[in-house]
Amino acid sequence: MPLDCLCVGIIVADHLCEPIAHMPVPGELVMSRRLSLAIGGCASNVSTDLAKLGVNVSLIGRVGDDIFGDFVRQALTDGGVDTTHLISTPGFDTAGTLIVNVQGEDRRFIHAFGANAAFDGSEVTDEMIRSCRVFYVGGFLLLKNLPSTKIARWFQVAREAGIPTVLDIVIPEPGDYHEHLATVLPWTDVFLPNDDEARVLTGQTDPLAQAERFHNLGVRTSIITCGGGGAVMICSDGRFRSGRFDVPFVDGTGSGDAFAAGYILGLLTDQPPTQCLEIGSALGASAVRTAGATQGVFRRDELDEFLSRSRLGIEQI
């Protein structure tokens, strides 16, 4: 089958708890209804969500040569993701994130780089990029050995082939990332940071000002997701602000990745940017209804049914 989307980047085994009443003090035991092991990381989450939507998707990245790597590979395969280019890396553990959910509070994360630290871009060829309809890179700035010049080169290959590119980031720590952004964003079609990440990158607190900054650096469509505050988008059609879908909130893990997958589905179905924004917002909303990054994400029929009865408020600004 023709490849709809090629996903490249961060792959993680998530260790998470369902919401607890409060953070334990030293020596205290706090009960959670359930602890689980699940797929995590930008690229693996987006590829899993796309597969749930019926998209033909392949994932390129690294896991460790360990039991968690075996789990990730099997879970992705069971979920319908092509793992032909998923590399087991001797001498490395699979990347892991401990996710602590506390009722009424944002998530807390403890992360180990694991095999993602060995990812240097040699895993991706120009032919792989040209084989797809949308090219997604997740985990920009966290992939320590992946140069920004390499991503810019990939995106240039994609643009010359008429393939839309989508870029998502993970910021390991505060710092000056302007040079990296200035290298990659001119070749980027869609950039998807959240407002916290954008604040670190720009020093701006207003999401519209953040989106303006990235747009001025050359990205064609700049989107800032703001959790319960909706999103703002600057694209060739104008400047837009969206609301959010009202759904029960359990865990925000993976909601941004689900948004990316929904937006990619819009690109694959030739939707205008505002409709891509609505699809992304709907899929992102579906992710927060259960604990875990991908467990609650809509399948295609569920997404279509949800959008048939729910509309997202979008205003031009």
- Whether the model clears a pTM of 0.85, i.e. scores above it, the answer is yes
Average model confidence (pLDDT) across the chain:
94
Q: For residue 280, what are its two tokens?
A: 């992304």
Contact 276, 240 (CB under 8 A): no
Distance from C-alpha of 269 to C-alpha of 245, rounded to nearest angstrom: 22
Which residue ranges form the domains of the chain, and what is each CATH number?
Answer: 3-23+35-312 (3.40.1190.20)
CA triple 29-30-35, angle to 5 deg: 110
**Exposure letters 227-253 (e unless 16+ CB within 10 A, then b):** beebbbbbbeeebbbbebbebeebbbb
Tens digits of residue pLDDT in 21-56: 999 999 999 999 999 899 999 999 999 999 999 999
Residue 271's Cβ-count burial label (10 Å; 0-12, 13-18, 19+) is middle
Indicate whether 292 pLDDT > 80: no
For the residues 242-264, what does the mean pLDDT come to?
A: 92
Indicate whether 187 pLDDT > 80: yes
Tell me the angle at which helices 273-287 and 255-268 cross, rounded to the nearest 10 degrees.
140
% residues pLDDT > 90 (the chain): 85
DSSP track, the chain: --EEEEEEE--EEEEEE--BSSPPPTT-----S-EEEEEESHHHHHHHHHHHTT--EEEEEEEESSHHHHHHHHHHHHTT-EEEEEEEETT-PPPEEEEE-BTTS--EEEEE-GGGGG--STT--HHHHHTEEEEEEEEETT-TTS-HHHHHHHHHHHHHTT--EEEEE--SSS---HHHHHHHGGG-SEE--BHHHHHHHHS--SHHHHHHHHHHTT-SEEEEE-GGG-EEEEETTEEEEE-------S--TTHHHHHHHHHHHHHHTT--HHHHHHHHHHHHHHHTTSSSSSTTPPPHHHHHHHHHH----EEE-
pLDDT at res. 1: 66
Distance from C-alpha of 16 to C-alpha of 132, rounded to nearest angstrom: 33
Residues 6+ apart with CB under 8 A from 241: 208, 230, 231, 232, 233, 314, 315, 317
Report phi then psi at 116, rounded to 5. Answer: -60, -25
Indicate whether 254 pLDDT > 90: no
% residues pLDDT > 70 (the chain): 100
Q: For residue 26, what are its two tokens?
A: 């030293």
Name the more confident of 104 and 203: 203
pLDDT at res. 60: 98
The model's confidence at residue 222, banded by pLDDT at 50, 70 and 90, is very high
Name the more confident of 60 and 1: 60
The model's confidence at residue 105, banded by pLDDT at 50, 70 and 90, is confident
Indicate whether 149 pLDDT > 70: yes
